[in-house]
């Protein structure tokens, strides 16, 4: 009997020790083993397997604005005068003479208290004299003061061009003959009251009256017209 009691006590002690010192309650109850560190669940694996988000695209740099430079402002001093032979202007009536060689003698005094009312263009004897514009020879006249002269009307009949002190007329020149701008109508000389030592062309522009009289008209200064500073 004593031996049985000792066996029973030993068994009880063994069961209690096993209970206290053995595996935890969850293991004894068959609980699932906790996940190891580093192992991934399905949701974690999905997150790890997902492609990385696309890199952010930098905002496009705006194109530089193209600016067109403004046209230069006109010169405050005014535009340069056009050349004297520009379209619509009168041609210089003496061959080989440029506008920079002209002198304004329109208001110069003359004998008997007269005013010149013309421009003198100095040139050697025999230099061709040219029609300043298209028109018609209205009158060929030999006067005491002007010598051999040509009165040319322009097509509208508003203006008369007067050429004086000619040495001679161009061959074939006649009254009522149509002439073209630049056509030779005579040659520089010193007929009339011009000095033989200073041959020149005496050139006038007249504004004709309604009667269209070749010997009568209002004189206007040829100098600004021939130099391109003024248009008719």
Indicate whether 207 belongs to any domain: yes
* Short-list 118, 145, 153, 126, CA closest to 226: 118
Indicate whether 28 belongs to any domain: no
Indicate whether 55 belongs to any domain: no
Does the pLDDT value for residue 145 go beyond 80?
Answer: yes
- Total domains in the chain come to 1
Q: What is the pTM of this model?
A: 0.62
Indicate whether 2 belongs to any domain: no
What average pLDDT does the structure give for the chain?
A: 76
Indicate whether 9 belongs to any domain: no
Indicate whether 44 belongs to any domain: no
Express each pLDDT in 28-72 by its tens digit.
Answer: 444 444 444 444 444 444 444 555 555 554 455 555 544 444 433
Range of the domain at 137: 99-226
The CATH number of the domain holding residue 190 is: 2.70.70.10
**More confident site: 37 or 161:** 161
Q: Can you say whether the dihedral through the CA atoms of 174, 180, 184, 189 is positive or negative?
A: positive
Indicate whether 82 belongs to any domain: no
Buried b (16+ CB within 10 A) or exposed e, 156-190: eeebbbbbbbbbebbeebeeeeebeeebebbbbbb
**Averaged pLDDT for residues 65-88:** 39
Indicate whether 157 belongs to any domain: yes
């Amino acid at each position: 009997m004593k031996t049985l009691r000792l066996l029973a006590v030993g068994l009880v002690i063994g069961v209690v020790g096993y209970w206290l010192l053995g595996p935890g309650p969850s293991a004894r109850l068959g609980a699932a083993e906790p996940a190891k560190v580093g192992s991934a669940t399905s949701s974690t694996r999905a997150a790890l397997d997902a492609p990385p988000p696309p890199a952010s695209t930098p905002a496009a740099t705006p194109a530089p604005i193209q600016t067109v430079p403004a046209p230069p402002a006109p010169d405050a001093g005014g535009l340069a005068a056009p050349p004297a032979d520009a379209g619509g202007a009168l041609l210089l009536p003496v061959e080989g003479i440029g506008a920079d060689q002209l002198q304004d003698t329109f208001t110069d005094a003359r004998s008997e208290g007269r005013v010149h009312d013309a421009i003198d263009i100095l040139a050697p004897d025999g230099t061709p004299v040219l029609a300043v514009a298209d028109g018609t020879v209205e009158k060929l006249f030999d006067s005491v003061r002007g010598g051999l002269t040509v009165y040319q009307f322009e097509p509208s009949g508003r203006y008369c061009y007067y050429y004086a002190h000619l040495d001679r007329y161009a061959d074939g020149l006649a009254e009522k003959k149509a002439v073209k701008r630049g056509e030779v109508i005579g040659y520089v000389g010193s007929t009339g009251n011009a000095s033989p030592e200073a041959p020149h062309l005496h050139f006038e522009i007249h504004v004709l009256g309604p009667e269209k009289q070749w010997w009568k008209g209002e004189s206007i200064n040829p100098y600004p017209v021939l130099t391109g500073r003024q248009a008719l």
